[in-house]
Amino acid sequence: MYKYLIENDFDVKLDKGFNIFNSVSTKVLKNTGTLISNELNLKEIKNLIDCTNIDTMLLVYGRIKMMVSRQCFIGSSEGEGKKIVN
């Protein structure tokens, strides 16, 4: 789908799912804008912005889920409320 949109001149802006860490990623993906990874420090953010010519966005406030573990084996087998049988 992404390839189709780019090839047909759609204005594509990437969200956090693409986890953009550097300017090479923005050049390879050939999009018109991107949300920069939340894991970068200030120096890395400045460098990325200086090295790219597309719109860059950064989430600066809000609760951010860094990891979701929906099928946690330990939690479902030995977690809260589970009885451990020896």
Q: Please give the Cα distance from 29 to 79 (Å, whole number).
A: 42
Asked whether the CA dihedral 31, 35, 36, 42 is positive or negative, the reply is positive
The answer to which of 16-30, 50-64, 67-81 has the lowest mean pLDDT is 67-81
Q: What is the pLDDT of residue 14?
A: 74
b/e 9-26 (16+ beta carbons within 10 angstroms → b): eeeeebeeebebebbebb
For the cut 70, the answer to whether the pLDDT of residue 70 exceeds it is no
C-beta of residue 35 within 8 angstroms of C-beta of residue 29: no
Rounded average pLDDT over 70-81: 64
